Amino acid sequence: MIKAVIVDDESKARQTIEEMLKTYCPQVTIAGQANSVESAYAIINQEKPDVVFLDIRMPDGTGFDLLKRFESVWFHFVIITAFEDYAVAAFKYSAIDYILKPIDPSDLYAAVEKLSRTINLEENKKKIDTLLSNVDNPNSKPDKIVLKTSDNIHVVDIHSIVRCESQNNYTQFFFETGKSILISKTLKEFDDLLAPSGFIRVHQSHLVNKKFIKQLKRFPQLKLTMFDDTEIPVAVRKKDYIIEQMEGR
């Protein structure tokens, strides 16, 4: 069984989550509920849950404030929020599980199934540290991203990523240091995530950080030369957009 605590300042929301868990996730047992940062901190320390279903905005602070109060976070957590704002971007960059309100039972079920397979405390700590780093300044773009390989989890500086290359259903990341890692997600997922941080999808198989572009070659065919002299093919329809982005960087 998975022991859970529900944290939300609205009693109706807590009741909805509890009913959905009982209906769709019988492997979860509810150890307690809380409606504030203070009460959540107390009940989590008392009950020692495996997972906390955590709302972001509460009367006496935020879910982030709650997480910062723990020297070591031993529990897994799933963010539940009605606000699709800067924080959601931070969740994605940090590989944190989140569910938007109104809650879709399939999303709740998927989150529970995922944590049922593994609750890795070291991974959890890296994700939390990255999340808190990315949300400390809500007016700036996240500066770190969690990348998980088959045998490790990496927290990397977004601005150190030179380019990403599609390898079928995988994505190869290339870094300023010359190192690379292979991630089991498609390039499309990273295109959506990294575009706000200055990355350009220049070709079906290539996503590049525009700050590392050295020049655009037009002949004999369209190619980008990166800072390390790597040449990247460019889709013809992307030429004008790339020129525009290079001029504005």
Domain membership of residue 171 as a residue range:
157-248
Kindly report, residue by residue over 61-101, the tens digit of the pLDDT: 998 899 999 988 888 889 998 876 656 777 877 778 889 99
Question: 206: which 2 tokens?
Answer: 């290539």
The answer to whether position 142 is within a domain reads no
Range with lowest mean pLDDT among 4-8, 109-113, 132-136: 132-136
The answer to whether position 35 is within a domain reads yes
Mean pLDDT within 164-187: 94
Of 81 and 34, more confident: 34
Work out how many domains the chain is built from and give that number.
Answer: 2
Q: Which residues of 134-144 are buried (b: 16+ CB within 10 A; e: fewer)?
A: bbeeeeebbbb
Cβ atoms within 10 Å, residue 18: 16
Report the pLDDT value the prediction gives residue 221, as an integer from 0 to 100: 83
Instruction: Tell me, rounded to whole angstroms, the distance of Cα 150 from its chain centroid.
Output: 17
Q: Clarify whether residues 194 and 71 are in a common domain.
A: no
> What number of H helices and E strands is found in the chain?
8, 17
- pLDDT band (50, 70, 90) for residue 53: very high
Q: Clarify whether residues 236 and 119 are in a common domain.
A: no
Exposed (0-12), middle (13-18) or buried (19+): which is 94, by Cβ within 10 Å? buried
Mean pLDDT within 123-130: 77
Q: Clarify whether residues 125 and 196 are in a common domain.
A: no
Per DSSP, the three-state class of 149 is: coil
Report the pLDDT value the prediction gives residue 139, as an integer from 0 to 100: 57
Q: Clarify whether residues 83 and 121 are in a common domain.
A: yes
The answer to whether position 231 is within a domain reads yes
The answer to whether position 152 is within a domain reads no
The answer to whether position 140 is within a domain reads no
Is residue 93 within 8 A of residue 157, CB to CB? The reply is no
Residue 145 pLDDT exceeds 70: yes
Q: Clarify whether residues 121 and 190 are in a common domain.
A: no
The answer to whether position 167 is within a domain reads yes
Is residue 112 within 8 A of residue 49, CB to CB? The reply is no
Q: Clarify whether residues 9 and 127 are in a common domain.
A: yes
Exposed (0-12), middle (13-18) or buried (19+): which is 107, by Cβ within 10 Å? middle
The answer to whether position 45 is within a domain reads yes
The answer to whether position 185 is within a domain reads yes
Q: Give the CATH number, domain containing residue 99.
A: 3.40.50.2300
pTM: 0.65
Kindly report, residue by residue over 199-218, the tens digit of the pLDDT: 999 999 999 999 999 999 88
